[in-house]
Chains A and B, each alone.
Chain A
Amino acid sequence: MIARRINVWKHFSDGVTTNNPVLVLMLGLCSVIAVSTNALSALGMGIAFTFVMVCSNVLISVVRNVTPDTIRIPVFIIIISTFVTITDYVLQAFMPVIHSQLGIFLPLIAINCIVFGRAESFASKNKPVASLFDGLGIGIGFTIVIFLMGAIREILGNGTICGKMVLGKAFAASPIAFMILPPGGFLVIAFLIGMKNWLSNKGEK
Chain B
Amino acid sequence: MKLVVSVSPHIHRDISIPRIIYTVIIALVPAFIWSIYSFGIRALWLVIVSCGVACLTEAIVQILIKKRRTYFDGSAILTGMLLAFNLPVKVPLWIPIVGVIFAIVVAKQAFGGLGYNFINPALAGRAFIVASWPQAMSSLWSAPKFGAISDMNVITNVAPLGVLKMNSGNPAIVSMLNSGESIKNLFLGVYGGTLGEISCLFLLLGGIFLIAMKYIDWRIPLSYIGTVGILMQLFYMFGITPVNGIFHILAGGLFLGAFFMATDYVTSPITREGRWVFGVGCGVITVLIRLWGAQPEGVCFAILIMNCFVPLIERALKPKIFKQIKILS
Contacts and interface: CB of A to CB of B under 8 A. Distances in A.
A9 to B, nearest CB: 35
B222 interface: no
Contact of A178 (B131, B135, B136): B131
Interface of A: 174-179, 181, 183, 187, 190, 194
Interface in B61-103: 98
Nearest to A177: B132
A59 B133 CA distance: 49
Nearest to A190: B110
Interface string B97-141: 010000000100010000000000000000010011111100000
Contacts of B110: 190, 194
A176 B99 CA distance: 11
A187 B119 CA distance: 15
19 contacts: A174-B133, A174-B135, A174-B136, A175-B132, A176-B98, A176-B132, A177-B131, A177-B132, A177-B133, A177-B134, A178-B128, A178-B131, A178-B132, A179-B132, A181-B131, A183-B131, A187-B106, A190-B110, A194-B110
Nearest to B92: A174
Contacts of B132: 175-179
Q: Is the interface of B mostly helix, strand, loop or mixed?
A: helix
B92 to A, nearest CB: 9
A176 B134 CA distance: 11
Contacts of B135: 174
Contacts of A175: 132
Contacts, number: 19
A181 B128 CA distance: 11
Nearest to B131: A178
Nearest to A157: B132
Nearest to A184: B131
Q: Interface centre among B110, B134, B136, by most A CB within 10 Å?
A: B110
Interface string B125-165: 00010011111100000000000000000000000000000
A190 B132 CA distance: 19
B169 to A, nearest CB: 31
B6 to A, nearest CB: 36
B207 to A, nearest CB: 31
Contacts of B131: 177-178, 181, 183
User: What are the 5 closest A-B residue pairs judged by CB atoms, nearest first?
Assistant: A178-B132, A178-B131, A177-B132, A176-B132, A178-B128
B89 to A, nearest CB: 19
A194 B112 CA distance: 13
A152 B184 CA distance: 49
A175 B136 CA distance: 12
Contacts of A183: 131
A69 B172 CA distance: 74
Q: Interface centre among A178, A181, A190, A194, by most B CB within 10 Å?
A: A178
Contacts of A178: 128, 131-132
Nearest to A179: B132
Contacts of A179: 132
A181 B129 CA distance: 13
Contacts of B128: 178
B103 to A, nearest CB: 13
A29 to B, nearest CB: 18
Contacts of A177: 131-134
A178 B136 CA distance: 14
Contacts of A174: 133, 135-136
A178 B134 CA distance: 10
A177 B98 CA distance: 13
Contacts of A190: 110
B113 to A, nearest CB: 15
A194 B131 CA distance: 24
Q: Interface centre among B98, B106, B131, B132, by most A CB within 10 Å?
A: B132
Contacts of A194: 110
Nearest to B134: A177
A155 to B, nearest CB: 14
A199 to B, nearest CB: 15
Given A175-B132, A177-B134, A178-B128, 4 more contacts: A174-B133, A176-B132, A177-B131, A177-B132
